[in-house]
Amino acid sequence: MSILRLVWLFVVVLAVITRTASAKDLKSDDAAGIRFFETQIRPVLVKHCYECHSIQSQSSEGNLRLDSRQTIRAGGDRGPAIVPGSIDKSLLLTAVSHTDPDLKMPPRKQRLPDSVIADLRRWVEIGAPDSRDEFAGGSVVTKVGRNFWAYRAPVKHDVPRADDSEWPRGEIDRFVFAKLQSHKLTPSPDADLSTLLRRLHFDLTGLPPEPGRIDQFAAQAATDGIDDALASRVDELLASPQFGERWGRHWLDVARFAESSGKDANISFPYAWRYRDYVIDCLNADVPYDRFLVEQLAGDLLPYESPEERARLLIATGFMAIGTKNLGEMNPIQFLADIVDEQIDTVTRSVLGSSVACARCHDHKFDAFSMRDYYALAGVFASTKTYFGTAVSPANRVGGDPLPLPVEAGLPVFHASITAARVEKLQADMAALRKEEEDGRAAVLNAIKAGESPDGLFTLRDALRIFWRTGAIEGQLEKVDANGKALPLASGVLDRERSLNVPLLKRGEISQPGEIIPRAFPAVFNLTQVNPIPDNSSGRLELARWLTHQRHPLTSRVMVNRIWKHIFGAGLVSTIDDFGATGKPPSHPELLDYLALRFVEKDWSIKAMIRELVLTRAYRQASTYRNAAFQADPKNRLLWRISKRRLEAEAIRDAMLAVSSELDRKRPKASLVGRVIGDRPISIIGLDKRLPQDLDGTVHRSVYLPVIRDRLPDVLELFDFAEPSFVTGARENTNVPTQALYLMNSPFVQERAAALAKRVRTEAGADPIAEVRLVFRLCFSRLPDSDEHARALKFLGSRVGPTDKANDADENTEALVDFCHAILATAEFRNLD
C-alpha cells in the first residue's frame, strides 16, 4: 500500500471516528449540536428541499416550509415535518427514506445517500438542534430581517454639498439636488406665482385661493421677496381650520374611517362621526404624532384631568372600532378572532407600513413576521373589548354596544331621550323575555330527562324571537340613563376585565388551538420594550409606547413618507403602505432618514414637517415637461419637476362650492348617519324620504359627507375615494367616462354652475370681458390667454338672438351658466400643476 493511500485511509477513518463520537454526545441546545446542524443538515435542506419549500423560492408545496426552525416543526398539510426526538413521527424521515410510495422526497429523483439519511435521523434523535431563528430566507430575524433597510433605525447622514449654491434653500433641497446631479439632471425653473399659490392652497387646505389673495401674495412677493411671502402664507394656511379638514381626511384614509360595518349585514355606526371630528381637531391643534397614535391605540388607558379630556381620549380609540365587521357571524369566537385580525392589520399597516396580519395562518411569506408575532399581538387585542354601537336585530346577529362618554363633558347627543316609564316598561319586558327563555330551556331539559319528546316546548322560532327582541330592548336601554335621558355615546375600546394570552391557531383555524403565546411585540425590531405588559392590562398602552419609541425604525419613516406623498405627489417610498420586502426601496434613502430623524427632533410635529417641505425650492418647481429629463426619469422619482396631479374627489367638490361662494365652512352637527340614519341596515336607507338620493345634500365640506361602506355619495365613488375597508395611503387615480358623465349631468354640478354664474354676473357687473376674466381667475387662478378670451366671448355672444330682444337677458344668463358649467368640467379645474 502506498504512503498516499495510507494517509488517505487515516484521514477517512479519523473523520468517521470524530463524526461518530461527536454525534454520540450531541445535544439539541449546545454548540456541538448547532455545529452538526450547520455542517451536516442545513446544506442538505438547502440543496434538496428549499427549491419547493422555502420563502426564497416563494414556494411552499403542501403548505410546508423547511427553511426555518419553526416551520419545519409546524409542518404542512400532512403534519409536522419533524418531531424532535421522535423518528417515527417525523414525516421528513419517511419522505427521504422512500418507504411510503405516496411520500417520496425529493420527488422524481433518486433517494438521498444512506449517510445523509443517517445524519437526518441522528439530528431528529438528538432533538433537532437548529440555529435558524424564527424566520427564513428574506425574513431571518437576527441576520437578514434586522439588516433589511426598513428595519434598521434611521441614521444621520452628512448633508450633501451643492455645487450650485443658488438653487437649494435648505438641507432637503441639497439631498434632492445631489441626487439629480448624480444622474446628470437639473431641477426645473420655479413655477409662476399664481400656479405656486394655487398648489399651496390646495395642498394645505384643499381649497382654491380667491383672486384677491393671489394679488396680495404677488404684491408681498414683490416687496418682501418670494421666500418671506411664501413663509407668511404657509403659516396662515397651517393656522386655518381648513388645514385640519384637509389633512385630517388624509389620516382618515389611513384609518379606514367609515360609518357602517360593511360586509353582508352592513349596519350603520351611528357614533363614528365623533372620531372623524377628533382627527380633524388633532390636526388643527398639531397634536404631536406620537401622542396622536398613543391616544388612538390606548386613550382609555391614559390619565386625564377633566370629564372633557376623558371623553376626548375615549373618542380617540374609535380608531380601533370603526373597521369592517361580519355582523352575520354566528360563532362569537370566530367573530372575535376576525375583529382582532382586522385591528392587527390596521395598526401595523397604518403605523409600520407592514402587515403582521399576513402571519395569521403561516409565517409571513416575505417579511420578518412569524405566527408567534401575530398571536403575541393577538393577545393584546383579544384582551380589548370593542364598542361599535350596533344592536342585535334580524339583520344583525352581533351587538356591538356603544361606548358611554362622561355626561359631565356636555357633548352633543343626537338620539332621542325616552320617559322613565318607558325605561321601566323596557326593563320589565327584558326580564319577562329572559324568564321565558329560562323556563323554556328548563322545560326542554326536563322532558329529555323524563324520556319525553321536547317538540313544541321551546322551539328555534321561540329562541330567535327572544334573541332579537332582547337585543332590540338592550339597544334602546344602552342609549339612555335610568331616567331615560339620552347619553353621549361613541365608538371605541376598553380593556376587558380579564386580560389573556391566546393560543397559536394552526392555519388560523379557531378549531385548532396550539401553544399559548405570551403577549409581546414583533421580534424583528431590535428595540427594547418600553415596559413589560402587566398581567392586568391588555398591553395596548405598552404597544403604543413601543411603536412611538424614538428609535423605532419604521414609525417616523412611514409617517414622513405619507406627508411627502401628499406634498410631492409620490412617496420617497412609492409603495406607501408597504415598507417590506415586496415594497419599493426609497428613491432617496438618506433623505428619508434625515426627515424621519428631523420629525422626531421637532417633537413629531406634522405641521412643522409640512412647513419645511413646502418651503423647499423643490416644491416651487414648475410641472413643465422636459424631454431629456423625462427620458432619463419618466416617473419623476428624482424630482426634476413637480408632477401634475388630479385633485381628490373632496377637493373637486369643495372647489366647486368655493368658487360659487356657496361653501358652508362651519362644521355640521354630527353626520347624516348620526343625525338621521342611526343604527340600522344600510340596505333599507333608500326607503327613507328624509335622505338625499345620492347622500350629498349639503354645501358643507366633503370631509363631512357620510362614508358608508358600499354606499358612498356619487362624487366620492366616481372620483376614486379611498376604499374605506382598507388602510389607504395612496388612492387610485382613474380617468373614466363615468366621471365626464357626472360632470355633465349631475344636478350638483349644474347647481354649482348656476351659482357661479350668479356670482360672476354680480361681481363683474354684467361685463362679458370682466366675467370671462373672473371665471378664469376663480377656477384656474390665472387670466385667460388671448385665444381663450376670444373663444369665450364668442360663445357668450352666440347665444343672443339678433331680433328677440325681450329674451336677451335670459339668453345671456343661460349662456353664462353653460360657460361656467363647461369650465367646472375642464381637466384644468380638477388638476393641479
pLDDT on residue 395: 86
User: What is this structure's pTM?
Assistant: 0.83
Q: Does the pLDDT value for residue 150 go beyond 70?
A: yes
Rounded Cα distance between 73 and 128, Å, is 9
pLDDT in tens, 173-211: 999 999 999 999 999 999 999 999 999 999 999 999 999
Residue 17 has a CB neighbour count (10 Å cut-off) of: 10
Residue for grid cell 380617540: 316
- Per-residue confidence (pLDDT) for residue 144, from 0 to 100: 59
Relative orientation angle of helices 768-780 and 649-659, to the nearest 10 degrees? 150
Most confident of 18-22, 242-246, 398-402, 673-677: 242-246
Helix and strand numbers (H, E) in the chain are 33, 10
For residue 153, name the pLDDT band (cuts at 50, 70, 90): very high
pLDDT given for residue 65 in this prediction: 82
Average pLDDT value for residue range 509-513: 92
Predicted pLDDT of residue 23: 42
Mean pLDDT of 26-46: 71
- For residue 158, the 8-state DSSP code is P
Segment 506-530 shows an average pLDDT of 86
Q: In DSSP terms, which residues pair with 443 in a beta bridge?
A: none
Q: What would the pLDDT profile of 683-721 be if each residue is shown by its tens digit?
A: 999 888 889 888 998 999 999 999 999 999 999 999 999
What are 627-666's pLDDT values in tens digits? Answer: 999 999 999 999 999 999 999 999 999 999 999 999 999 9
- Specify the higher pLDDT residue, 504 or 811: 504
Residues 6+ apart with CB under 8 A from 587: 179, 572, 573, 574, 637, 638
- Residue 426: which pLDDT band, with cuts at 50, 70 and 90? very high
- pLDDT greater than 50 at residue 31: yes
**Nearest to residue 267, comparing CAs of 678, 722, 692?**
678
Per-residue confidence (pLDDT) for residue 77, from 0 to 100: 78
CA distance 209 to 777: 9
Mean pLDDT along residues 739-753: 96
Q: Distance between CA 254 and CA 272 in Å, rounded?
A: 15
pLDDT in tens, 447-497: 899 888 888 888 999 999 999 999 999 999 999 999 999 999 999 999 999
pLDDT at 363: 85
pLDDT for residue 6 is more than 60: no
Nearest 5 degrees, angle CA 324-CA 325-CA 327? 150
pLDDT at 797: 86
Cβ atoms within 10 Å of 61's Cβ, excluding its own: 13
If one compares 68 and 233, the residue with the highest pLDDT of the two is 233
Burial class (CB in 10 A: 0-12, 13-18, 19+), 433: middle
What local confidence, expressed as pLDDT, does residue 353 receive?
A: 96
Phi (first) and psi of residue 120, to 5 degrees: -65, -40
- Percent of the chain at pLDDT > 90 equals 69
Q: What is the DSSP string of 317-382?
A: THHHH-S---TT---HHHHHHHHHHHHHHHHHHHHHSS-GGGGSSSS-SSSS--HHHHHHHHHHHH
User: pLDDT tens digits, residue range 83-121?
Assistant: 898 888 888 888 888 888 778 778 777 888 888 888 889
Q: How many CA atoms lie within 13 A of 397 on its CB side?
A: 12
Q: Burial, 162: exposed, middle or buried (Cβ in 10 Å; 0-12, 13-18, 19+)?
A: middle
For residues 557 and 550, is the Cβ–Cβ distance under 8 A? Answer: no
pLDDT at site 280? 98
Q: How confident is the model at residue 17 (pLDDT cuts 50, 70, 90)?
A: very low
Compute CA distances 351 → 85, 345, 543, 730, whole Å.
Answer: 42, 10, 12, 14
Computed on alpha carbons and rounded to an integer, the radius of gyration of the chain in Å comes to 33
Instruction: Report the pLDDT value the prediction gives residue 409, as an integer from 0 to 100.
Output: 96
